[in-house]
Chain A
Amino acid sequence: MDFELIRTVFPFFLKAAWVTVLLSVLTAILGLICGSLGAAARLSRSRVLRFLGAAYVSVFRGTPALIQLFLLYFGGPQIGIQLDAFQAGVIGLGVNAGAYMTETIRGAIIAVDRGQTEAARTIGMSRWQAMRHVILPQAMRLMIRPLGVNINALIKATALVAPISVVELTYTAQRYIGSTYRPFEMFLLAGILYLIIILSVGRVVGWLDRKARIA
Chain B
Amino acid sequence: MTEQPIIEIRNAAKSYGALEVLKDISLTVNRGEIVAIIGPSGSGKSTFLRAINELDPLSGGEIFLEGEQVNKRLPPREYERHINRIRQEIGMVFQHFNLFPHLTVRGNVTLGPRLLKGLSQADVDKLAEEQLDHVGMLERIDYFPSQLSGGQKQRVAIARALAMKPKVMLFDEATSALDPELVEEVNAVMKRLAQEHMTMLIVTHEMGFAQDVCDRVLFMDQGVVVEEGPPDVIFRNPTNERTRNFLRKHLEGRS
Contact = CB atoms under 8 A, between A and B. Distances in A.
B234 interface: no
A34 to B, nearest CB: 26
B249 interface: no
Contacts of A84: none
Interface residues of B, number: 27
A124 B164 CA distance: 9
Contacts of B230: none
Interface string B96-127: 10111110000000011001100000000000
A82 interface: no
Interface in A79-126: 113, 115-116, 118-126
Contact of A138 (B91, B94, B101): B101
B100 A123 contact: no
Interface string B135-175: 00000000000000000000001001100100000000000
Contacts of B4: none
Given A123-B88, A124-B85, A133 B96 contact: no
Contacts of A126: 80, 84
A122 B84 contact: no
A129 to B, nearest CB: 6
B112 A125 contact: yes
Nearest to B55: A118
A118 B98 contact: yes
A121 to B, nearest CB: 7
A76 interface: no
B131 interface: no
Interface string B174-205: 00000000000000000000000000000000
B196 to A, nearest CB: 21
B92 interface: yes
Given A118-B94, A138-B102, A123 B164 contact: yes
A77 interface: no
B80 A127 contact: yes
B47 interface: no
Nearest to B144: A215
Contact of A124 (B76, B101, B102, B112): B112
B53 interface: yes
B92 A122 contact: yes
A163 interface: no
Nearest to B114: A133
Contact of A119 (B80, B100, B102): B100
Interface in B42-57: 53, 55
A152 B112 CA distance: 39
Contact of B84 (A124, A137, A138, A141): A124
The 9 closest A-B pairs by CB, nearest first: A124-B88, A119-B98, A123-B112, A115-B98, A124-B87, A122-B92, A137-B102, A124-B84, A124-B116
Interface of A: 45, 113, 115-116, 118-127, 129, 133-134, 137-138, 141, 215
Interface of B: 53, 55, 76, 80, 84-88, 90-92, 94, 96, 98-102, 111-112, 115-116, 157, 160-161, 164
